Amino acid sequence: MQKLLMIINNLHQNFYNKIFRGFFYDRCILCQKSTDNNMYICYNCFKQLKSIAKLRSIKNIYYIWDYETIFSKLLKNYKLNRIKNLENIIVKLIKHDFFEILNKKNIEIIIPVPINNNRIRERGFNQTEEILKKLNIKYLKAKRIKATKKMSRILNKKEREKNIKNAFKIEGDLENKIILIFDDVITTGTTVNELIKTINKKYMIKEVYIFTLSLTKTAKKILNDGRD
């Protein structure tokens, strides 16, 4: 039944994208200026995204963009408006840095952050998995076994932790491995921390790193303050 729903969602998504392009064929989704490249964004916006794309790190977290930039608009269109073709632009911009971290840190297993089943049904895809597929990367799939509320809507730290507690399940050969967790945006770090806790409860791992497309100001403050 779930597979059937995903097929229907994918058909709906493809239809939506075609209709969207039919009406806004010559408009950039980021700046609304005309574009004649038959793409979703114009050359100037792509150039801007590229100019601010820079591999940076705080502790064990690597990221490419500050969330509070033009990138957040791209990500929202990709996820919320289900413009799945935007992953091609994201992949093009992160590919070099992503593989640099894989090689530099000798990553053995990559785990994309799983999303709520309701989000899968609504969106038709998990954005982190789709990006890894485009990168031709094999990954270990974790499961989200708890119907959580949207973390971005929960401001209180304890409530966020309560919401995401015991939300994940993972099976695989993780013992004594170097792991990379992949996410699209880290808002506070609560979700990835819970996923790491789930892994550590069951396995003795060598090291764990996080690669995210973007990091919010809130997440940076939490990390720099030394809090979870």
Among 191, 41, 70, smallest CA distance to 128 is for 191
Give CA–CA dist 178/101, Å, rounded. 12
Domain contains 192: yes
**Per the structure, how many domains does the chain have?**
1
Write out pLDDT tens, residues 101-139: 999 999 999 999 998 888 888 888 899 999 999 999 999
Domain contains 165: yes
What mean pLDDT value characterizes the chain? 86
Residue 43 in contact with residue 49, Cβ under 8 Å? no
CA 138 to chain centre: 16
Which residue do the tokens 């990559």 mark? Answer: 110
Does the pLDDT at position 187 exceed 60?
yes
Domain contains 16: no
Domain contains 5: no
The pLDDT score that the predictor gives to residue 38 is: 66
Domain with residue 220: its CATH number is: 3.40.50
Return the top range by mean pLDDT from 7-11, 73-77, 153-157: 73-77
More confident residue, 178 or 81: 178
Among 84, 168, 166, smallest CA distance to 130 is for 84
Q: Which domain holds residue 118?
A: 53-225
Write out pLDDT tens, residues 188-228: 999 999 999 999 999 999 999 999 999 999 999 999 886 54
The two most distant CA atoms of the chain are separated, in Å, by 53
